[in-house]
């Protein structure tokens, strides 16, 4: 029988508030303690060990120390990268720790193209020698860019691997995702290899044990998370990791809660209240709440009937909570609106008008370009071309990939212009332009106030 621990989405180094950052690290230490006492054979970290590619050194030092404790106890650690902890264009700390031998990255592969066939991605299997378990990993990328790797996976090769075997990944699954996450940011279950004994997932913060191709598919969720919503979810449901036993081709996951400080959530609906009344109501609620040594989450939302959001004495309220012994305070007020909304509208038309005039002047100039660019149609085509060509890199996209995408889009425009396809160009669908890819459904994460 083999036993391993499955963790994911640790996001170590997250939070600006040093107290929260420390709490997160403390939970990782606690998890390591539990893993050591459980005498597991190995540990799987299914992506997002760190919150960013270069975390601050204090965090790295502590994480390295914990990994070293595991190593000293002869516990192997296997890892894949996630959408946060790895950058394709910059150095990443996860690579440094792998290079130092603190864990083994279990993602390796190469594309092969057989004559006239589709490109195939062959993933390399890794074997945990003492137990004979085979691990195959697929890292996550920002905005689920890894989906295109999945699309080319050589599934039969993976399905033929002898068991016991574990597939490690960092992606949401299309059929299991809640309403609100774009389908393009998920991977359909049909792209996963069949026949694995356990599917060790990451990326999705909603903890859960599911089924995939007849075996357990598990998202452990974070130990604390990295934003308001994660913290709030942690107030309702214990956080931790899974201990998995594989016995005779049957994997049984068991949740292990990791102890940490309590979290309390205070919600104030400010809809229709004056700023003053909202502040009063909030203060009253806070005063009636046990806050000592707890993480206090404050969520204020709604449209104020009068006054500004800044009329609510945020700093004073937080100060009072700290004085009453709150361990950390995290206020989300991004859904709170003042009535007096001063909106300055800067006409976008201005810059686009200038653009058009410059182009018209140039294209009409002494050095006439290709016929496609003549006249009004030419100006319009040139402007259409600017859009893909000036597009920013998508989050997590490598420079070369971005170039490919731009050239492809521009090429498509030119081809349809040449073919005289009347009307507007087909709407380009992008993978999404969020700052970070959120593993949550729907609305944006709350703002952090100090």
Partner 1 sequence: MPPTVSQDHSPASRLEVIAQIIGGEHGQILIRQKAGERIELGDLLVADDPTDPGSSMLLQVHNLRYGSQENDLNLQLMSGMQLELHEGGDFLEPQLRSYVLAEVTSLLVIERGAQGHSRSRRPKHLPSFFRDLRRVRPSDLDVLTQPAHPVFLGYLRSGSRTIPQVRVAIDGVDMFTHHVLVPATTGRGKSNLMKVMLWSTLGKDYCGLLVLDPHDEYYGREGHGLKDHPDAPESLVYYSPDPPRGSPALRINLRRIRPDHLRGIVPMTEAQGQAAWTLWHHHRDAWLAALLLGQEEEFSQLDIGGATIGALRRKLRLALGVRTNEGQVVSRNEVFTTEGGDSTLSDIVEHLQNGRKVIVDTSRLSDSAELLIGSIVAGEVFRNYQGFKAAGRLRAMPVISFVIEEAPRVLGGGSEEPNIFGTIAREGRKFRIGLVAITQLCSLIPREIMANLNTKVILGNEMAAEREAIISSASQDLTRDSQLIAGLDRGEAIVSSVFTKFAIPIQVPFFDELVAQELLHRPPKRPPAFLG
In the region spanning residues 187 to 206, those forming contacts with partner 1, defined by CB under 8 A, are 188-191
Could you say which of 56, 151, 159, 376 contacts partner 1 (CB under 8 A)? 151
In the region spanning residues 205 to 264, those forming contacts with partner 1, defined by CB under 8 A, are 210-211
Asked if 175 touches partner 1 (CB under 8 A), the answer is yes
Q: Does the active-site annotation cover 440?
A: no
- To partner 1, the closest distance from the beta carbon of 108 in angstroms equals 6
Could you say which of 70, 97, 181, 297 contacts partner 1 (CB under 8 A)? 181
Could you say which of 264, 305, 398, 410 contacts partner 1 (CB under 8 A)? 398
Could you say which of 18, 130, 178, 369 contacts partner 1 (CB under 8 A)? 178
**Per-residue binder mask for partner 1 (CB under 8 A), 52-81, x = binder:** -----------------------------x
- To partner 1, the closest distance from the beta carbon of 255 in angstroms equals 17
Q: Considering beta carbons, is residue 211 or 257 the nearer one to partner 1?
A: 211
Q: Considering beta carbons, is residue 419 or 435 the nearer one to partner 1?
A: 419
Could you say which of 401, 444, 448, 449 contacts partner 1 (CB under 8 A)? 401
Q: Considering beta carbons, is residue 211 or 375 the nearer one to partner 1?
A: 211
- To partner 1, the closest distance from the beta carbon of 322 in angstroms equals 40
Pick the catalytic residue: 84, 170, 203, 440? 84
Could you say which of 26, 88, 372, 383 contacts partner 1 (CB under 8 A)? 88
What 3 state SS string does the chain have?
A: CEEEEEECCCCECCCCCHHHHHHHHHHHHHHHHHHHHHCCCEEEEECCCECCCCCCHHHHHHHHHHHHHHHHCCCEEEEECCCCCCCCCCCCHHHHHHHCCCCEECCCEEEEECCCCCEEEEECCEEECCCCEEEEEECCCHHHCCHHHHHHECHHHHHCCCCCEEEEECCCEHHHCCCCCCHHHCECHHHCCCCCCEEECCCCCCCEEEEECCEEEEECCCCCCCCHHHHHHHHHCCCEEEEEEEECCEEEEEEEECCCCCEEEEEEECCCCEHHHHHHHHHHHHHCCCCECCEEEEEEEEECCECCHHHCCHHHHHHHHHHCCECEEEEECCCEECCCCCCCCCCHHHHHHHHHHHHHHHHCCCCCCCHHHCHHHHHHHHHHHHHHHHCCCCCCCCHHHHHHHHHHHHHHHHHHHHCCCCCCCCCCCCCCCCCCCCCCCCCCCCCCCC
Q: Considering beta carbons, is residue 43 or 79 the nearer one to partner 1?
A: 79
In the region spanning residues 107 to 136, those forming contacts with partner 1, defined by CB under 8 A, are 107-111, 113, 116, 118-119, 121
- To partner 1, the closest distance from the beta carbon of 175 in angstroms equals 5
Asked if 362 touches partner 1 (CB under 8 A), the answer is no
- Can you give the binding site for partner 1, defined by CB under 8 A? 81, 88, 105, 107-111, 113, 116, 118-119, 121, 139, 141, 148-149, 151-152, 155, 173-181, 183, 188-191, 210-211, 398, 400-401, 422-423, 426-427, 429
Active site amino acids: 84
């Amino acid at each position: 029988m083999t036993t391993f621990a499955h963790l994911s989405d640790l996001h170590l180094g997250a939070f600006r508030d040093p107290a929260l950052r420390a709490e997160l690290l403390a939970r990782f230490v606690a998890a390591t303690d539990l893993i050591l006492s459980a005498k597991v054979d190995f540990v799987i970290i299914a992506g997002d060990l760190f919150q960013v590619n270069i975390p601050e050194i204090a965090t790295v030092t502590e994480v390295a120390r914990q990994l070293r404790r595991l190593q000293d106890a002869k516990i192997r650690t296997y890892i894949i990268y996630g959408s946060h902890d790895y950058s394709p264009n910059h150095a990443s700390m996860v690579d440094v720790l792998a290079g130092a031998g603190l864990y083994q990255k279990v993602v390796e592969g190469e594309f092969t193209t057989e004559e006239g066939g589709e490109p195939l991605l062959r993933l390399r299997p890794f074997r945990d020698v003492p137990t004979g378990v085979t691990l195959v990993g697929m890292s996550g990328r920002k905005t689920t860019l890894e989906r295109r790797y999945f699309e080319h996976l050589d599934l039969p090769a993976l399905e033929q691997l002898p068991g016991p075997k574990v597939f490690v990944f960092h992606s949401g699954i299309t059929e299991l995702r809640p309403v609100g996450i774009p389908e393009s940011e998920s991977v359909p279950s049909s792209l996963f290899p069949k026949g694995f004994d356990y599917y060790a997932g990451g990326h999705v913060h909603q903890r859960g044990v599911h089924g995939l191709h007849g075996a357990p598919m598990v998202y452990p969720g974070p130990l604390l998370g990295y934003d308001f919503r994660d913290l709030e979810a942690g107030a309702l449901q214990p956080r931790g990791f899974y201990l998995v036993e594989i016995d005779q081709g049957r994997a049984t996951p068991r949740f292990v809660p990791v102890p940490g400080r309590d979290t309390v959530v205070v919600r104030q609906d400010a809809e229709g209240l004056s700023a003053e009344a909202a502040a009063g109501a909030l203060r009253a609620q806070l005063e009636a709440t046990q806050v000592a040594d707890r993480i206090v989450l404050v969520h204020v939302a709604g449209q104020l009937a009068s006054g500004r959001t800044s009329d609510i004495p945020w700093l004073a309220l937080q100060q009072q909570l700290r004085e009453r012994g709150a361990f950390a305070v995290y206020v989300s007020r991004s859904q709170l609106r003042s009535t007096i909304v001063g909106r300055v509208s800067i006409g976008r038309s201005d810059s686009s008008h200038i653009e058009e005039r410059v182009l018209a002047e140039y294209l009409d100039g002494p050095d006439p370009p290709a016929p496609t660019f003549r006249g009004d149609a030419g100006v319009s085509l040139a402007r259409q071309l600017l859009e893909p060509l000036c597009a920013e890199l998508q989050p997590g996209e490598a420079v070369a990939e971005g170039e490919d995408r731009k050239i492809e889009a521009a090429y498509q425009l030119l081809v349809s212009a040449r073919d005289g396809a009347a009307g507007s160009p087909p709407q380009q669908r992008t993978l999404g332009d969020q700052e970070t890819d959120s593993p949550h459904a729907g609305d944006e994460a709350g703002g952090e106030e100090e």
